[in-house]
Amino acid sequence: MQRIRPYYRIREAGSGAIVTANSVIGTSVARHDLPGKLTGEAKYTGDMSLPDMLYGKIVRSPHPHARIVSINTSSVDALPGVRAVLTPFNVPEGRLAPDVPILDRVARYVGDEVAAVAADDEDLAEYATGLIKVEYEPLSFVTTAREAMKPNSAPVHPGGNLVGGEPLTLTRGDVDEGFDQADRVFSMSFSTPAHSPAPLEPRAAVAAWEGGRLTVWKTSRGVHADRLSLASALGIDRDNVRVVGATLGAGFGGKDESRLSVIAAELARRTGKPVKIEATREEEFVAGRKRHSTETTVKVGVKSDGTITAIHATTLMDTGAYLASGPGVVRRAGQAALYLYRCANVRYDGYLVYTNQPSAASYRALGAPQGHFALEVTMNHIADELRIDPLEFRIRNHVGIEGQAGERVTPANEIIDTQPIEGGIPFSSNGLRECLESGAELFGWNDRQAVNSRSAGHIKKGSGMSMFIYRGGPGGRSSARVRLNADGSVQLIAGLMDVGEGSTTVMAQIVAEALGVSYDSVRVTFGDTADTPEAPITAGSTATFSTGTAAKQAAEALKTKILNAAAASLLHDADGLNIVDGSVVDADGEVRMQLSEVAANVGENVLDADASVMPGSRDHIVNSFGAHFAEVEVDTETGNVRVVRYVAAHDSGRILNPQLATNQVEGGVSQMLGFTLSEEMLTDPHSGVTLNASLLEHKSPTVKEYPPIQVIFADVVDPIGPFGAKALGEPPSVGPAPTIINAIYDAIGVRITSLPATPDKILDALSRREEA
């Protein structure tokens, strides 16, 4: 077995290295400038200090569910400096999404958008919102998914509260038969909280019209998707909409899927002036987007030797007032139960439910943290009951590179889903065993009892682990254009958004490697619909794999064009030329031309190349894997949990940028400490009011709580991904909750099944154990 290499080592030949004189793959480079990011034909660019810019503020509902009977704006219509007022009664009838009009005549949560004002300054706009008189007809409301599922519960939307009218049910094999084959059957129930991404930068948008053309600068993870939704809502052709994604101050998936930008656009259309709306911190918590809360039951059948015969998981998920990305989230919550363990008989039932809560939506790793938490804590319980070491239990049962047993259902000419249900399809690569074994070695898993025995008094030590599976990177159709500039530099143009994960850096590396030029010579244009080809949203950890594949192909095509142009100038066979360190060289390595000379020789003929790909494989499942290990200390007097150290072992294929990759893992682990131990969006069930809409009260962890995190990567080169890479952005968020909860159990003998594992829950669990 090949060893996992520490993150800071650049792989050598024999372990999948790219051996070229100017190789930048596997090098820790970082790009902080985005040339061309805010350039083009639009009048308004730069720092958003636009001439005559107005400021917008939003009137929000004080009711969790109410019909808007009327809105009286007479007090503000004649107020000097107030330029426009939007209400549900005077906006276009278009929709951002099937259940999201620009403004609605029904408010569905406390904080829902009701009206909006544009004024000369923010203070005036804020003052004006307070003068608008809204007559509401309060309606019955529900604030929990369990309550919303009752037959006589108040419908949040017409058609009932269960989205689609039935659960999402996915099966392979026969779970009833599998449970009949089991020697023992275990069942456990879990709950996870809604919690906020808590980005440092609240969402914001600036909108400006020039004639019938709209330009919007906004927090975004997909400018082309935003352009489509804005055009649809406003009733204009998408060619008349330009969306520019400004550099993002943290996103984590939740920075779109709200009304803010379309309200700014409509206010700007009414006033004929640019309008800016920026959410307050409280608005970001309430009207932004959060992780879906869940209730999950996991039932597992096993033989006495630990062989798994059946897995059945059921999740009840609260999507809040609007659907957003809920269907994708509830689907991803079931993938661990369906595919992480080798098992012929599996079933997943996912219930996605509307409530009168603030809307949930995309948040790093979507439903995978919730689903893995329930499954992996259950599996640890089973291992304990069978007296099998948790690591050994997983080594015996984890899915292998051959995939699951069964028959392929996907037609032979179709790309395999990265979240499959069927069996009979192998993985393109699978380093899960490597992650388990090498992660355990680095952690000292076999020596943990000696470490735990050092517990003194009321401070108890424990160790825990978990493993996970995640989609490997193929996403929607992705495109890229690569152009040779007159000065010999190279321009990469893609519609992708860098949401903080460093894709601008990695894409430049990929192009530099494929073309044979230095990283510093690659310029990147991202996030602007005016200058870039169509692109999907940055989501699902797909950017490096999907857009990276397109960028690599475009760069390779451009290299061929450059060499053909050079060959024509040199009267030389193109097959005998290459590009090394940004120069055209012959077979002897002698420099024959600079790229700037090639550009000059072709004159007005631009040398560029486009590539558009539907990423993925028709023969293999492309997935990423990992295993996490943690040591904790639990204070049995206060209930406080301290994570002492953490080991994260990941299979994300070849690591193209070691420093960025390590940062992703460290960030994901640190972020999910909050989900596990402290964070929860609290709603008063009697009023629907969010009780802790601030950084002070949301209880996100700080650097003081972050443990030392050791990161290692499996020595795996995926044969499908660009230069062997697979997904990494979201997988680090999947492992922390079950890993830490399993470690808490190891320390104090109580298993927390309701997150976050706050001190009061720890003390209550200890008290119940003593009373039993």
The 3-class secondary structure across 40-93, one letter per residue, is: CCCCCCCCCCCCCCEEEEEEECCCCCEEEEEEECHHHHCCCCEEEEECCCCCCC
Model confidence at 29, in pLDDT bands (50, 70, 90)? low
Q: Would you state the pLDDT for residue 712? A: 98
Sequence-distant (≥ 6) Cβ neighbours of residue 402 within 8 angstroms:
426, 427
Tell me the backbone φ, ψ of residue 550, rounded to 5 degrees. Answer: -65, -45
Residue 477's Cβ-count burial label (10 Å; 0-12, 13-18, 19+) is middle
pLDDT for residue 324 is more than 70:
yes
Q: Which residue has the higher pLDDT, 24 or 771?
A: 771
Model confidence at 15, in pLDDT bands (50, 70, 90)? very low
Model confidence at 40, in pLDDT bands (50, 70, 90)? very low
What is the DSSP secondary structure assignment for residue 134, as one 8-state letter? E
Percent of the chain with pLDDT over 90: 84
Indicate the average pLDDT of the chain: 91
Cα 192 versus chain centre, distance: 18
In this predicted model, what pLDDT tens digit does every residue of 98-109 receive, in sequence order? Answer: 999 999 999 999
In this predicted model, what pLDDT tens digit does every residue of 425-449 receive, in sequence order? Answer: 999 999 999 999 999 999 999 998 8
pLDDT for residue 454 is more than 90:
no
Place of tokens 């990469």: 492
Model confidence at 42, in pLDDT bands (50, 70, 90)? very low
Q: Which residue has the higher pLDDT, 52 or 455?
A: 52
pLDDT for residue 256 is more than 90:
no
In this predicted model, what pLDDT tens digit does every residue of 68-91 receive, in sequence order? Answer: 999 999 999 989 999 999 999 999
Q: Would you state the pLDDT for residue 24? A: 57
Q: Is 435 helix (H, G, I), strand (E, B) or coil?
A: helix
Q: Would you state the pLDDT for residue 258? A: 85
What is the DSSP secondary structure assignment for residue 456, as one 8-state letter? B
Q: Which residue has the higher pLDDT, 586 or 49?
A: 586
pLDDT for residue 212 is more than 60:
yes
- Worst-scoring range by mean pLDDT, 240-254, 298-312, 462-476, 604-618? 240-254
Q: Would you state the pLDDT for residue 533? A: 92
Model confidence at 27, in pLDDT bands (50, 70, 90)? low
Place of tokens 């108040």: 154
Cα 123 versus chain centre, distance: 35
Q: Would you state the pLDDT for residue 473? A: 87
What angle do helix axes 432-443 and 390-397 make, rounded to 10 degrees?
170
Provide the 10 A C-beta neighbour count for residue 214.
22
Q: Would you state the pLDDT for residue 50? A: 76
Sequence-distant (≥ 6) Cβ neighbours of residue 51 within 8 angstroms:
274
Helix (H) or strand (E) holding 243: strand 241-245
Sequence-distant (≥ 6) Cβ neighbours of residue 226 within 8 angstroms:
216, 218, 220, 243, 245, 256, 261
Q: What is the mean pLDDT of residues 132-159?
A: 97
Sequence-distant (≥ 6) Cβ neighbours of residue 599 within 8 angstroms:
484, 485, 486, 487, 488, 607
d(CA 721, CA 428): 9
Q: Which whole-number Å values give the CA distances from 125 to 78, 132, 263, 273, in the listed order?
A: 13, 11, 14, 15
Q: Would you state the pLDDT for residue 10? A: 26
Model confidence at 250, in pLDDT bands (50, 70, 90)? confident
Model confidence at 453, in pLDDT bands (50, 70, 90)? confident
Whether 452 and 462 have beta carbons less than 8 Å apart is answered as yes
Q: Would you state the pLDDT for residue 169? A: 98
Tell me the backbone φ, ψ of residue 658, rounded to 5 degrees. Answer: -55, -40
d(CA 193, CA 357): 13
Model confidence at 495, in pLDDT bands (50, 70, 90)? very high
Q: Would you state the pLDDT for residue 717? A: 97
DSSP notation for 708-750: PEEEEE-----SSSGGGB---SSGGGTSHHHHHHHHHHHHHS-
pLDDT for residue 49 is more than 80:
no
Q: Would you state the pLDDT for residue 539? A: 85
Q: Would you state the pLDDT for residue 58? A: 98
- Residue among 133, 129, 104 nearest 118 (CA): 129
d(CA 56, CA 124): 10
Q: Would you state the pLDDT for residue 46? A: 37
Q: Would you state the pLDDT for residue 41? A: 31
Model confidence at 4, in pLDDT bands (50, 70, 90)? very low
Q: Would you state the pLDDT for residue 420? A: 96
Whether 336 and 367 have beta carbons less than 8 Å apart is answered as no
In this predicted model, what pLDDT tens digit does every residue of 541-582 receive, in sequence order? Answer: 889 999 999 999 999 999 999 999 999 999 899 999 999 999
Model confidence at 1, in pLDDT bands (50, 70, 90)? very low
Q: Is 566 helix (H, G, I), strand (E, B) or coil?
A: helix
As given in the structure block, the two tokens for residue 270 are 């009414």
Q: Would you state the pLDDT for residue 175? A: 98
What angle do helix axes 658-677 and 736-748 make, rounded to 10 degrees?
50
In this predicted model, what pLDDT tens digit does every residue of 723-764 receive, in sequence order? Answer: 999 999 999 999 999 999 999 999 999 999 999 999 999 999
